Amino acid sequence: MKNLFISYVKRLTMKVNLSWVLGFLAFWSILSMLLINVYKPSDLREYSLYVSLGYSSTTLIALSTFAIGVAFAIFFNTQALPFMFKFSKLTPPKYILAFYSANLIDAEIIGIFSMLVFIMLTKLEGTIVLPSNPALLIVGVFFEGLLLISLAVLIELFSLIKIKILQYSLFLLYIPMFIVIASYFLYIVYPYSNPIVDYANPFLSSMLLTAYSYYGNTLPVSVPDYSSELSLLYLFLGIFPWIIVLTVVDILMLRKVYLRQVEEQRMF
* Domain carrying residue 224: 2-266
pTM metric for this prediction: 0.83
- Please list the rounded mean pLDDT of every run of 10 residues in the chain (268 residues): 51 57 79 76 82 91 86 72 74 84 86 90 85 91 93 86 68 86 90 90 94 90 83 92 94 72 40
pLDDT of 6 reads: 52
Cβ neighbours, 10 Å, residue 17:
18
Q: Which helix (H) or strand (E) holds 21?
A: helix 16-39
Give the count of domains, the chain. 1
Q: How far is CA 234 from CA 136, 150, 205, in A?
A: 15, 21, 8
What is the rounded (10 degree) CA torsion for 63, 121, 134, 25? 10
**Whether the Cβ atoms of residue 136 and residue 219 lie closer than 8 Å to each other:** no
- Give 204-227 pLDDT, tens digit per residue: 999 999 999 999 888 999 988 777
Residues 185 and 57: their CA atoms lie apart, in Å, by 10
Residues 139 and 3: their CA atoms lie apart, in Å, by 26
- Which is nearest to 154 in space by CA: 60, 91, 262, 243? 243
DSSP 200-222: S-HHHHHHHHHHHHHH-SPPEEE
- Which is nearest to 257 in space by CA: 108, 124, 88, 81? 81
Residues 242 and 132: their CA atoms lie apart, in Å, by 27
